[in-house]
Amino acid sequence: MTFQLILDEIKNNLKKILDDLSISDVNFSVELAKPGFGDVSSNIAFLLAKELKKNPKEITQMLFEKYSQCSSTLVLKTEAHPSGYLNFFADWAKLSKLILSESYLDTFGAVDIGNNSNIIVEHTSVNPNKALHIGHIRNIVVGDTVSRILTKANYKVNVLNYIDDSGLQVADIIVGFKHFKFDEEPPNGKKFDHYCGDDVYVKTTQKYELDSSLEEIRKNTLKELEDGDSETAVFGDMITRKVLAGQLETCWNLNVSYDCLNFESQIIRSGLWSKIFEKLKEMGLIEFENEGKNAQCWVIRGDDNEDDKVIVRSNGTATYIAKDIPYAAWKLGLLDDPFYYQKYDATQPNSKTLWQTSLNNDSATPQNFTAQKVVTVIDSRQERLQKIITTLMEKFNSIPDSYVHLGYESVTLSSDTAKTLGLETDGKQAQMSGRKGVYVSADSVCELLKQKITEETKKRHPEMEDSEIEKIAQSVSIGTLRYEMIKQDLDKIITFDLAKSLSLEGDTAPYIQYAYARASRILEKSGITPTTDVNFSLLQEKSELNLVKTIGLFNLQVRDAANNFAPKVIARYCHDLAVSFNSFYEHVKVLDSDNDELKSSRICLVNSFNITLEKALDLLGISAPNRM
């Protein structure tokens, strides 16, 4: 429980004092104190001012006197601050022992929010017609990080990737291959997903703009695509699976893995839509429009000033939302599972089994990829659609917040980075368009980062083996990219800057990873095997206690991040931890101490920092290199 122990002790004692005063229902806070207010502070006096008809300063003094009569294990002294806050100072000899000893356990940082219940996190869900680009990376990394955090919070997490293999963008590349005779093999060893996106898709859509009669071919192709037995559908399945293989290769390189791939084409042919359509009508959640612009359509009424949303067109065909609604209901277990499950024919780097949906019963294995709670990571432009689905799901199962849309804003490139990657800019940032082929692939960004890190590492360590440089470059490049995608609030647009992201100073992954490497070097040079059998009372320097305190906050940060689906919380914690360690490094001599007992205590602290930072970085999908 680490720092939570002192928070709980204080809160329990304050509740006893309120009971003695016959006061109840006061929702006071007990939290980490701001500088100058001890280690822990409470706002309790402010909340009692109205009831006791006294000012907070007087109440704090009264509480201070009563608290001195309470039994305290971890609180050394209490202070009635003139501002009205009640402040507490920890007995650090005791608290350091508790925090550092627990940090050595494998379970350190784990919290039990999920109670081992099932939860689904769905992310990536990119059309299988092109390579993943820089914008997709934010979705992928946010989803993967949230799934890691929820696992740490004792949820049984299933990670799904929805493959939209029957939409217009897939129809476009099929038109390119079938009608414009693009070669099915990419030139010069180019990755197939890059070839489809850069060449086939872009050039095909350009032809549409020049010849409007091609629109009929496009519509027919889309219709044939939805017919699973057609030649077009069979060809489309072959092409999209080759694209998907390239996309998964990119994801795996980013330390991302999945539990199941769900194919839209199978959802369409599974019969799920017809079941949910009848349910929607029975519950009065959709209405048939007899007149106006949506005449002869089934619609979902818009809220307030929003337009009605067509769910079934006048010709009887379902809109794209009609695919998402039954899929959402299936994820929540509200419909019988029509799928069989087969193992995907490639192995993920972490060796976790990857399943895929199938409508074929041959060699299938029973699986369950449903849950009572679903988190779906989709960009904020889909907010209205996701709001409709969320509302419908709550009406179906009467469970609030069972279907969560985790939205995020877009990613752009800084002007300097765009120029480095060969894109035109408007002076401030790059203007990207997948349809025009003006975008930066995730693979190219990873490769450029890796190249720059390799060059820098060779300069710093000319003696280092190429294999070790390769390992460091991979670790730091992926860490850099992932960190830049999650260190900001999800509702903020990211402007990715290559140079700034690689800095060893400031809020960057290399800065954090370098702190770990620095600590590793201290441990290596010490020649001491770290142990918790040390004299914790010797850790008295301000920078030492601040580092202990920061380590002790790990599980509180995990709880906050899990409750709010907020990857930024862990990113910020990793940075705070690195800042705290670097301050310790600057102010305290570890290896040069003449006191062997003190040296052992500090080595224990350094190792605790490394253990904690490695676990926290792992929640971000970032590795911790021993050298940089």
List pLDDT tens digits, range 252-288.
999 999 999 999 999 988 989 888 998 899 999 999 9
- What are the backbone dihedrals phi and psi of residue 377, each rounded to the nearest 5 degrees, phi first? -95, 110
Residue 364 pLDDT greater than 80, yes or no: no
Cβ(191)–Cβ(131) below 8 Å: yes
- Pairwise CA distance, residues 378 & 368, whole Å: 23
SS3 content of the chain, % helix, strand, coil (to 5): 50, 10, 35
- Pairwise CA distance, residues 217 & 196, whole Å: 19
Residue 579 pLDDT greater than 70, yes or no: yes
Confidence grade of residue 390 (pLDDT, cut at 50, 70, 90): very high
Confidence grade of residue 393 (pLDDT, cut at 50, 70, 90): very high
What is the tens place of the pLDDT at every residue in 541-578?
999 999 999 999 999 999 999 999 999 999 999 999 99
- Pairwise CA distance, residues 103 & 563, whole Å: 22
Residue 428 pLDDT greater than 70, yes or no: no
Cβ(93)–Cβ(112) below 8 Å: no
Residue 379, Cα to own-chain centre: how many angstroms?
13
Which residues contact residue 211 at a Cβ distance below 8 angstroms, ignoring those fewer than 6 apart?
none
Tell me whether residue 413 is exposed, middle or buried, using C-beta atoms within 10 angstroms of its C-beta: 0 to 12, 13 to 18, 19 or more.
buried
What sections of 53-189 are H helices per DSSP? 56-67, 92-103, 134-152, 168-179
Q: Output the pLDDT for position 463.
A: 92
Q: Output the pLDDT for position 65.
A: 95
Cβ(180)–Cβ(282) below 8 Å: no
Closest by CA to 404, choosing from 122, 159, 115, 114, is 122
Sheet harboring 297-300: ordered strands across?
A: 287-289, 297-300, 309-312
Torsion of CA 389, 391, 393, 398, to 10 degrees: 180
CATH class of 4-90: alpha beta
Range of weakest confidence among 119-123, 397-401, 479-483: 397-401
- Pairwise CA distance, residues 270 & 356, whole Å: 14
Domain ranges of the chain: 4-90, 118-270+335-412, 271-334, 509-619
Question: What does the block give as tokens for 216?
Answer: 């009929």
Question: What does the block give as tokens for 515?
Answer: 């702190």
In the chain, the N- to C-terminal Cα span, in Å, equals: 33
- Pairwise CA distance, residues 588 & 594, whole Å: 13
CA angle 337, 338, 342 (to 5 degrees): 95
pTM of structure = 0.93
Strand 118-122 versus strand 156-163 pairing type: parallel
Q: What is the mean pLDDT of the chain?
A: 92
- What are the backbone dihedrals phi and psi of residue 245, each rounded to the nearest 5 degrees, phi first? -60, -40
Instruction: Among 3.40.190.10, 1.20.1600.10, 1.10.730.10, 3.50.50.60, name the CATH number for the domain at 509-619.
Output: 1.10.730.10
Instruction: Among 3.40.50.620, 1.20.120.420, 3.20.20.70, 3.90.1150.10, name the CATH number for the domain at 118-270+335-412.
Output: 3.40.50.620
| High-pLDDT (> 90) share of the chain, % | 76
Range of weakest confidence among 132-146, 233-247, 388-402, 473-487: 388-402
Q: Output the pLDDT for position 568.
A: 98
3 state DSSP class of 564: helix
- Pairwise CA distance, residues 369 & 346, whole Å: 20
- Pairwise CA distance, residues 83 & 16, whole Å: 23
Question: What does the block give as tokens for 380?
Answer: 């904020």
Half-sphere exposure of 107 (CA within 13 A, CB side): 7
Secondary element (H or E) of residue 377: strand 374-377
User: Residue 382 gets which letter from DSSP?
Assistant: G
Q: Output the pLDDT for position 437.
A: 55
- Pairwise CA distance, residues 32 & 598, whole Å: 27
| High-pLDDT (> 70) share of the chain, % | 97
3 state DSSP class of 330: helix
Confidence grade of residue 315 (pLDDT, cut at 50, 70, 90): confident
Closest by CA to 373, choosing from 110, 112, 114, 111, is 114
Residue range 116-145: average pLDDT?
Answer: 96
Residue 121 pLDDT greater than 60, yes or no: yes
Confidence grade of residue 331 (pLDDT, cut at 50, 70, 90): very high
Length of the chain (residues): 628
Higher per-residue confidence, 11 vs 167: 11
If one counts every other C-beta atom within 10 angstroms of the C-beta of residue 262, the result is 22
